Amino acid sequence: MRNMISAVIVIGSCFLATSGSAQRIDWRVFAEPFVSSAHAQTVDWQKVDDTLGRKPAVSGDVHRYGFPRSDLVVTLDGVTIKPALALGGWVAFKPMHDGVMAMGDLVLLESEINPVMLKMIANGLQITAVHNHLLGASPATFYMHVAAHGDPVQIATAIRDALAESKTPLKAAAPAASPPAIDLDTDQLDQIIGVKGQANGGVYQFNVPRRDPITADGMTLTPVGPMGVAIGINFQPTGGGKAAITGDFVLTNGEVNPVIMALRTHGIEVTALHSHMLDEQPRLFFMHFWANDDAIRLAKGLRAALDMTASRRS
């Protein structure tokens, strides 16, 4: 209560100090934390869970639902790709003043793209991007980015109905009794990348946030990892200290070519460059990459690329 009173005093002071130009104040700067928190309490998350058939990972006020393509066997350069490496579809829900903001990235086969898209459109969801992440994978996989605003259960129903047009498993799999070991020097990887990674389904994952805030539709996209706007780096062990790496760099326009040069100089392929959203600020570009080599050598190459970005790390 003390924090809310202080915020009201600050808002009132700003109004008094700038009454002549009050119309230029973006009041969402002050109201957003309280609006988001209040609406998070009013969302019936159990109904959303039941509709999507799974439990979310909850971070702050964001509920993120995973849709891994565990039904697919995808190979590239002799590596059988684990879902957590490059086949992990997801949808995140963030409360806002009139319901939720939803955004996500769905993994589809080529034959599934248009049936899923048509169902999404029919149910009022936006398609913000369709593209590849990898080159030469068999079978080829594509990634459909989606967005929506409004009632969370209606959005969840639309997503479920659209995914039913694909072979995406709609029933969440039971967690593995014993997660696969990460046969890599993860302490050294942490030190090189500059943030602490975490194991997920046999893959060692990093989320590196950018220094500056990212907004869409007047909302700050936080927390950045669950909302898909952190630099994502994934290592899948391939034996003998080697790893397959992929993920995406989140870049402003001036960072794109310096990062390309850093990656290519260190033997890391650039496999895609594109947008994920339509109206984010600042404008962002997402660069995907691939290599299968000594994990420590690749980590140093990735760090060289990270050094070309305005990102937060040690």
Say whether pLDDT at 80 is over 70.
Answer: yes
Residues 2 and 75 placed together within one structural domain of the fold: no
Asked if residue 177 is part of any domain, the answer here is no
Say whether pLDDT at 270 is over 60.
Answer: yes
Asked if residue 26 is part of any domain, the answer here is yes
Q: Is the peptide bond before 282 cis (omega within 30 degrees of 0)?
A: yes
Residue 175's pLDDT is what? 74
Asked if residue 120 is part of any domain, the answer here is yes
CATH of the domain at 148: 3.30.70
Residues 36-55, mean pLDDT to the nearest whole number: 81
Residue 35's pLDDT is what? 41
Say whether pLDDT at 122 is over 50.
Answer: yes
pLDDT category at 41 given cuts 50, 70, 90 is low
Residues 202 and 99 placed together within one structural domain of the fold: no
Say whether pLDDT at 307 is over 60.
Answer: yes
How many CA atoms are closer than 13 Å to the CA of 221, on its beta-carbon side?
A: 26
Backbone angles phi, psi at 168, to 5 degrees: -55, 125
Q: Residue 90: give the domain boundaries.
A: 43-163
HEC per residue, 114-177: HHHHHHHHHCCCEEEEEECCCCCCECCEEEEEEEEEECHHHHHHHHHHHHCCCCCCCCCCCCCC
pLDDT category at 29 given cuts 50, 70, 90 is very low
Give the separation between CA 199 and CA 205, rounded to whole angstroms: 6
Asked if residue 220 is part of any domain, the answer here is yes
Residue 121's pLDDT is what? 96
Report the range out of 3-7, 177-181, 267-271 with the highest average pLDDT.
Answer: 267-271
Say whether pLDDT at 34 is over 90.
Answer: no
Shortest CA distance to 86 belongs to which of 311, 291, 310, 293?
Answer: 291
Say whether pLDDT at 36 is over 70.
Answer: no
Residue 278's pLDDT is what? 95
Distances (CA, A) of 310 to 79, 96, 232, 248: 32, 28, 14, 15
Is the distance from CB of 141 to CB of 132 less than 8 angstroms? yes
Residue 217's pLDDT is what? 84
pLDDT in tens, 180-237: 889 999 999 999 999 999 999 999 999 999 999 999 988 899 999 999 999 999 999 9
Q: What are the structure tokens assigned to 293, written together?
A: 């080599």
What is the tally of structural domains in the chain?
3
Residues 48 and 153 placed together within one structural domain of the fold: yes
Residues 91-115, mean pLDDT to the nearest whole number: 96
Helix axes 45-52, 152-163, angle to 10 degrees: 10
More confident residue, 3 or 81: 81
Is the distance from CB of 258 to CB of 310 less than 8 angstroms? no
Residues 62 and 145 placed together within one structural domain of the fold: yes
Residue 10: other Cβ atoms inside 10 A: 11
Say whether pLDDT at 15 is over 50.
Answer: no
Residues 100 and 127 placed together within one structural domain of the fold: yes
Residues 94-119, mean pLDDT to the nearest whole number: 96
Residue 314's pLDDT is what? 65
Residues 88 and 151 placed together within one structural domain of the fold: yes
Shortest CA distance to 100 belongs to which of 52, 143, 127, 61?
Answer: 61
Residues 76 and 93 placed together within one structural domain of the fold: yes
pTM for the structure as a whole: 0.85
Asked if residue 314 is part of any domain, the answer here is no
Residues 241 and 196 placed together within one structural domain of the fold: yes
- The whole-chain average pLDDT of the chain stands at 89
Asked if residue 180 is part of any domain, the answer here is no
Residues 38 and 49 placed together within one structural domain of the fold: no
pLDDT category at 40 given cuts 50, 70, 90 is low
Proportion of the chain above pLDDT 70, given as a percent: 86
Is the distance from CB of 313 to CB of 194 less than 8 angstroms? yes
Interior angle at CA 182, CA 181 and CA 185, nearest 5: 140
Residue 133: other Cβ atoms inside 10 A: 22
Domain termination site, one of 12, 27, 42: 42
Residue 14's pLDDT is what? 43
Asked if residue 171 is part of any domain, the answer here is no
Residue 180's pLDDT is what? 87
Residues 60 and 156 placed together within one structural domain of the fold: yes
Asked if residue 311 is part of any domain, the answer here is no
Residues 253 and 301 placed together within one structural domain of the fold: yes
Residues 235 and 157 placed together within one structural domain of the fold: no
pLDDT category at 277 given cuts 50, 70, 90 is very high
pLDDT in tens, 135-192: 999 999 999 999 999 999 999 999 999 999 999 999 888 777 788 889 999 999 999 9
